[in-house]
Amino acid sequence: MKLSLFAATVIAVTTTGVQSFTAPTLPRQSAVPLLAQKNDWIGAAAVTATLGWTLAAQVAVATPPLPPQEQMVPSSSVMVSVEKLDFSLPSYDAARSNEGGFGVGSEARLGQNPADFEKSKQDEAMKKAEEARLARKEALKQERIQRNEDQIRAAEAKKQRDAQKLADFFGGQ
Protein backbone atom coordinates (compact mmCIF):
# COMPACT_ATOMS: atom_id res chain seq x y z
CA MET A 1 0.00 0.00 0.00
CA LYS A 2 2.84 2.30 0.74
CA LEU A 3 4.37 1.67 -2.65
CA SER A 4 1.21 2.41 -4.48
CA LEU A 5 0.70 5.60 -2.46
CA PHE A 6 4.27 6.63 -3.29
CA ALA A 7 3.79 5.83 -6.94
CA ALA A 8 0.54 7.79 -6.99
CA THR A 9 2.31 10.83 -5.51
CA VAL A 10 5.15 10.68 -8.05
CA ILE A 11 2.70 10.33 -10.91
CA ALA A 12 0.57 13.21 -9.62
CA VAL A 13 3.60 15.52 -9.29
CA THR A 14 5.11 14.72 -12.68
CA THR A 15 1.95 15.11 -14.67
CA THR A 16 0.90 18.41 -16.22
CA GLY A 17 -2.35 18.52 -14.30
CA VAL A 18 -0.50 19.62 -11.13
CA GLN A 19 0.01 23.08 -12.56
CA SER A 20 -3.68 23.70 -12.32
CA PHE A 21 -3.07 24.96 -8.78
CA THR A 22 -0.60 27.68 -9.84
CA ALA A 23 -1.22 31.10 -11.32
CA PRO A 24 -1.39 31.09 -15.09
CA THR A 25 1.60 32.65 -16.86
CA LEU A 26 0.68 34.48 -19.99
CA PRO A 27 3.24 36.05 -22.27
CA ARG A 28 3.34 39.83 -21.67
CA GLN A 29 3.01 42.16 -24.58
CA SER A 30 3.63 45.87 -24.25
CA ALA A 31 0.65 47.97 -25.21
CA VAL A 32 2.85 51.02 -25.98
CA PRO A 33 5.83 50.45 -28.25
CA LEU A 34 9.04 52.13 -27.18
CA LEU A 35 10.22 55.11 -29.19
CA ALA A 36 13.76 53.81 -29.22
CA GLN A 37 12.65 50.91 -31.37
CA LYS A 38 11.36 53.27 -34.05
CA ASN A 39 14.44 55.57 -34.15
CA ASP A 40 12.31 58.68 -33.55
CA TRP A 41 14.92 60.18 -31.20
CA ILE A 42 16.52 62.24 -33.96
CA GLY A 43 13.52 64.56 -34.25
CA ALA A 44 13.32 65.08 -30.49
CA ALA A 45 17.05 65.86 -30.36
CA ALA A 46 16.72 68.37 -33.18
CA VAL A 47 13.81 70.15 -31.47
CA THR A 48 15.69 70.25 -28.16
CA ALA A 49 18.84 71.64 -29.80
CA THR A 50 16.85 74.30 -31.65
CA LEU A 51 15.06 75.43 -28.51
CA GLY A 52 18.35 75.50 -26.59
CA TRP A 53 20.11 77.63 -29.20
CA THR A 54 17.14 79.98 -29.39
CA LEU A 55 17.11 80.48 -25.64
CA ALA A 56 20.89 80.98 -25.54
CA ALA A 57 20.71 83.58 -28.31
CA GLN A 58 17.94 85.49 -26.53
CA VAL A 59 19.92 85.52 -23.29
CA ALA A 60 23.08 86.65 -25.09
CA VAL A 61 21.52 89.66 -26.77
CA ALA A 62 19.14 90.65 -23.97
CA THR A 63 19.46 94.10 -22.50
CA PRO A 64 18.90 94.61 -18.78
CA PRO A 65 15.76 96.51 -17.88
CA LEU A 66 16.39 100.18 -17.33
CA PRO A 67 15.30 101.77 -14.05
CA PRO A 68 12.53 104.29 -14.35
CA GLN A 69 13.89 107.67 -15.33
CA GLU A 70 12.98 110.50 -13.03
CA GLN A 71 13.17 113.98 -14.36
CA MET A 72 15.58 116.01 -12.33
CA VAL A 73 14.43 119.46 -11.42
CA PRO A 74 17.31 121.78 -10.58
CA SER A 75 16.94 123.13 -7.10
CA SER A 76 18.84 125.76 -5.20
CA SER A 77 20.57 123.17 -2.98
CA VAL A 78 21.97 121.37 -6.02
CA MET A 79 23.19 124.57 -7.57
CA VAL A 80 24.85 125.72 -4.36
CA SER A 81 26.86 122.51 -4.02
CA VAL A 82 28.37 122.81 -7.48
CA GLU A 83 31.90 124.16 -7.33
CA LYS A 84 34.80 124.21 -9.68
CA LEU A 85 37.47 121.66 -8.80
CA ASP A 86 41.11 122.36 -9.58
CA PHE A 87 42.62 119.39 -11.41
CA SER A 88 45.80 121.14 -12.48
CA LEU A 89 49.13 119.45 -11.87
CA PRO A 90 51.98 121.19 -10.04
CA SER A 91 54.44 122.95 -12.27
CA TYR A 92 57.95 121.73 -12.83
CA ASP A 93 59.45 124.78 -11.14
CA ALA A 94 57.29 124.32 -8.04
CA ALA A 95 58.33 120.67 -7.81
CA ARG A 96 62.03 121.55 -8.11
CA SER A 97 61.86 124.25 -5.46
CA ASN A 98 59.88 121.93 -3.13
CA GLU A 99 57.03 124.43 -2.92
CA GLY A 100 54.32 122.21 -4.27
CA GLY A 101 53.43 118.58 -4.35
CA PHE A 102 50.60 116.18 -4.77
CA GLY A 103 48.14 116.37 -1.92
CA VAL A 104 48.86 117.31 1.66
CA GLY A 105 51.34 116.04 4.25
CA SER A 106 54.99 115.17 4.33
CA GLU A 107 54.64 112.25 1.93
CA ALA A 108 53.15 114.50 -0.74
CA ARG A 109 56.19 116.79 -0.88
CA LEU A 110 58.72 116.20 -3.57
CA GLY A 111 62.47 116.43 -3.05
CA GLN A 112 62.45 114.80 0.38
CA ASN A 113 63.86 111.38 1.13
CA PRO A 114 60.91 108.99 1.66
CA ALA A 115 63.19 106.39 3.26
CA ASP A 116 63.64 108.65 6.30
CA PHE A 117 59.89 108.90 6.79
CA GLU A 118 59.43 105.18 6.24
CA LYS A 119 62.09 104.32 8.82
CA SER A 120 60.50 106.59 11.44
CA LYS A 121 57.06 105.13 10.73
CA GLN A 122 58.42 101.61 11.08
CA ASP A 123 60.06 102.52 14.40
CA GLU A 124 56.78 103.97 15.67
CA ALA A 125 54.87 100.87 14.59
CA MET A 126 57.42 98.60 16.28
CA LYS A 127 57.19 100.61 19.53
CA LYS A 128 53.39 100.43 19.48
CA ALA A 129 53.49 96.68 18.81
CA GLU A 130 55.95 96.13 21.65
CA GLU A 131 53.80 98.17 24.04
CA ALA A 132 50.73 96.19 23.01
CA ARG A 133 52.62 92.91 23.49
CA LEU A 134 53.76 93.93 26.97
CA ALA A 135 50.25 95.08 27.92
CA ARG A 136 48.81 91.77 26.69
CA LYS A 137 51.48 89.86 28.65
CA GLU A 138 50.70 91.85 31.82
CA ALA A 139 46.95 91.26 31.38
CA LEU A 140 47.51 87.50 31.03
CA LYS A 141 49.70 87.54 34.14
CA GLN A 142 47.01 89.36 36.13
CA GLU A 143 44.38 86.94 34.84
CA ARG A 144 46.49 83.95 35.90
CA ILE A 145 47.03 85.45 39.39
CA GLN A 146 43.28 86.10 39.73
CA ARG A 147 42.48 82.54 38.62
CA ASN A 148 44.93 81.09 41.19
CA GLU A 149 43.37 83.21 43.95
CA ASP A 150 39.90 82.04 42.91
CA GLN A 151 41.05 78.41 43.00
CA ILE A 152 42.54 78.89 46.49
CA ARG A 153 39.30 80.51 47.74
CA ALA A 154 37.24 77.69 46.19
CA ALA A 155 39.47 75.06 47.83
CA GLU A 156 39.14 76.75 51.23
CA ALA A 157 35.35 76.98 50.85
CA LYS A 158 35.20 73.29 49.90
CA LYS A 159 37.34 72.40 52.91
CA GLN A 160 34.98 74.33 55.19
CA ARG A 161 31.91 72.65 53.63
CA ASP A 162 33.48 69.21 54.07
CA ALA A 163 34.36 69.97 57.69
CA GLN A 164 30.80 71.17 58.31
CA LYS A 165 29.38 67.99 56.70
CA LEU A 166 31.58 65.82 58.91
CA ALA A 167 30.59 67.77 62.01
CA ASP A 168 26.91 67.48 61.08
CA PHE A 169 27.26 63.76 60.35
CA PHE A 170 29.07 62.82 63.56
CA GLY A 171 27.48 65.50 65.71
CA GLY A 172 23.98 64.37 64.78
CA GLN A 173 24.34 60.94 66.54
Domain segments of the chain as ranges: 89-171
- Helices H / strands E in the chain, number of each: 5, 0
Q: How far is residue 48's CA from residue 73's CA, in Å, rounded to a whole number?
A: 52
Q: What is the pTM of this model?
A: 0.31
Q: How far is residue 148's CA from residue 154's CA, in Å, rounded to a whole number?
A: 10
pLDDT in tens, the chain (173 residues): 556 777 777 776 666 555 555 666 666 665 666 555 556 667 778 889 998 999 888 888 877 777 777 666 555 555 555 677 777 776 767 666 655 555 555 555 555 666 677 888 899 999 999 999 999 999 999 999 999 999 999 999 999 999 999 888 887 65
Q: Which helix (H) or strand (E) holds 169?
A: helix 114-171
